[in-house]
């Protein structure tokens, strides 16, 4: 299933992924569009409907890759690719206009990789939640057409609350954020 901003004005986002940095007023990151993909449908979705200003072509680029949704995969000889062993995780991507790549969403992230992707002028960065037992990942990349547009994709759901240091601030941001800003 795929949802647009218009379909879930103000109710879907906090339900799905609390802590998503829609409301970070500090750096001016306001979502200009987002797409929600739940675990069951994202595989091979090429005709995804987009929310906000995300163009359907962009969405297809992000989620059309068949490599995104694999079933269980046997681990490699050296125990790598552990993440792929897990079944589908809920995914959520959105687009913001910001000068910074890593938005303050109340969680702590550790960068574990960066990769230059084809047809993109900007490298894609890979982050993992630093909280133990939390396997949420996110990847951040900029649009080649507009270097100020940041595509952030979350994978999985946090098993904990936002970091205590940032929780209050995150809550304040959430309180002051409205989807009508889209």
Partner DNA sequence: CGGGTTTGACCTGCGC
Partner DNA sequence: GCGCAGGTCAAACCCG
Shorter beta-carbon distance to DNA: residue 5 or 150: 150
What contacts 24+ positions apart, CB below 8 Å, involve 49-58? Answer: 49/2, 49/4, 50/4, 51/3, 51/4, 51/5, 51/6, 51/7, 51/94, 51/182, 52/4, 52/5, 52/94, 52/95, 52/182, 53/95, 54/94, 54/95, 58/95, 58/143, 58/151
Shorter beta-carbon distance to DNA: residue 5 or 95: 95
Binding mask 78-107 for DNA (x = CB under 7 A): xxxxxxx-----------------x-----
Least distance (Å) between residue 44 CB and DNA:
9
- 117 contacts DNA (rule: CB under 7 A): yes
- 157 contacts DNA (rule: CB under 7 A): no
- 159 contacts DNA (rule: CB under 7 A): no
140: part of which helix (H) or strand (E)?
strand 137-142
Binding region for DNA (CB under 7 A): 65-68, 70, 73-84, 102, 108-119, 124-127, 130, 137, 139
């Amino acid at each position: 299933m795929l949802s647009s901003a218009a379909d879930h004005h103000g109710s879907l986002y906090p339900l799905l992924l609390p802590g998503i940095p829609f409301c970070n007023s500090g750096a001016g990151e306001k979502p200009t569009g987002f797409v929600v993909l739940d675990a069951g449908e994202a595989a091979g979705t090429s005709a995804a409907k987009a929310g906000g200003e995300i163009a359907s072509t962009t969405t297809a680029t992000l989620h059309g890759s068949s490599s995104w949704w694999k079933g269980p995969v046997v681990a490699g000889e050296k125990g790598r690719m552990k993440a792929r062993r897990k079944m589908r995780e809920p995914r959520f991507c959105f687009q913001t206009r910001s000068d910074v790549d890593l938005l303050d969403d109340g969680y702590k992230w550790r960068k574990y990789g960066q990769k230059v992707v084809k047809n993109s002028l900007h490298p894609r960065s890979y982050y993992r939640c630093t909280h133990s037992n939390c396997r949420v990942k996110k990847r951040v990349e900029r649009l080649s057409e507009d270097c100020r547009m940041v595509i952030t994709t979350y994978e999985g759901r946090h098993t904990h609350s936002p970091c205590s240091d940032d929780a209050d601030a995150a809550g304040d941001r959430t309180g002051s954020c409205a989807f009508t800003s889209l």
